[in-house]
A and B are shown apart, each in its own frame.
Chain A
Amino acid sequence: GESVGLHLPTLSVQEGDNSIINCAYSNSASDYFIWYKQESGKGPQFIIDIRSNMDKRQGQRVTVLLNKTVKHLSLQIAATQPGDSAVYFCAENRGSQGGSEKLVFGKGTKLTVNP
């Protein structure tokens, strides 16, 4: 069946390094994707989003890349800091209204930043 999944369940990096978290999706009709950060014991927090008419979108220290040909999404975090340690989820919207009304989440990647 169709699913949103991740290539790696865990990622460990050194403080100051760049981090790349990957996500594969299988629904070619999805047109809206979001990355969330979830710290232990808290609800998910929006990081950045991208629509299917874009290949790249940048935020503060974060960049999302979308490759529609291979149905792949990645989140790049520049100069990773200890406060970036969390579980990161990608999500795709499978609703028809173009917003985030029917998000399907991946399983998540746990990022650990070593000092």
Chain B
Amino acid sequence: NAGVTQTPKFRILKIGQSMTLQCTQDMNHNYMYWYRQDPGMGLKLIYYSVGAGITDKGEVPNGYNVSRSTTEDFPLRLELAAPSQTSVYFCASSSYNEQFFGPGTRLTVL
């Protein structure tokens, strides 16, 4: 199993641009999550999903959107990139308790 994969690994955006961060898991997990991690800080939950077609807001959802059309995929959308969204983004999945994390996407907004 590849586990949780994320693309791209790195991205630089200009203010106002949009992009989608991709996340795929092959463990047939119902739960999926998006976090952001700012330098020297812990992770903050952006959105999560308990199954296909179901999403819910986490701690810091503003400026982001998600969709969950399949069990495997959970893309994160940034519509109007802002410098405050410069961060490392982690996707994770779980069956119930233990979350498995992807390698992260490092995003810089200039």
Contact = CB atoms under 8 A, between A and B. Distances in A.
Contact of A43 (B59, B92, B94): B92
A104 B96 CA distance: 16
B101 A49 contact: no
B43 A107 contact: no
Given A99-B94, A101-B50, A46 B42 contact: no
Contact of B90 (A43, A100, A101): A43
Question: Which of B42, B90, B92, B100 gathers the greatest number of chain A CB atoms within 10 Å?
Answer: B42
B97 interface: yes
Given A100-B97, A100-B98, A106-B42, A42 B58 contact: no
Contacts, number: 61
Give the interface size class of chain B: 20 to 34
A102 B100 CA distance: 14
Contacts of A49: 97-98
B47 to A, nearest CB: 11
Given A43-B90, A44-B90, A99-B94, A104 B102 contact: no
Interface of A: 4, 32, 34, 41-46, 49, 89, 91, 97, 99-108
Interface of B: 4, 31, 33, 40-45, 48, 50, 58-59, 90, 92, 94, 96-104
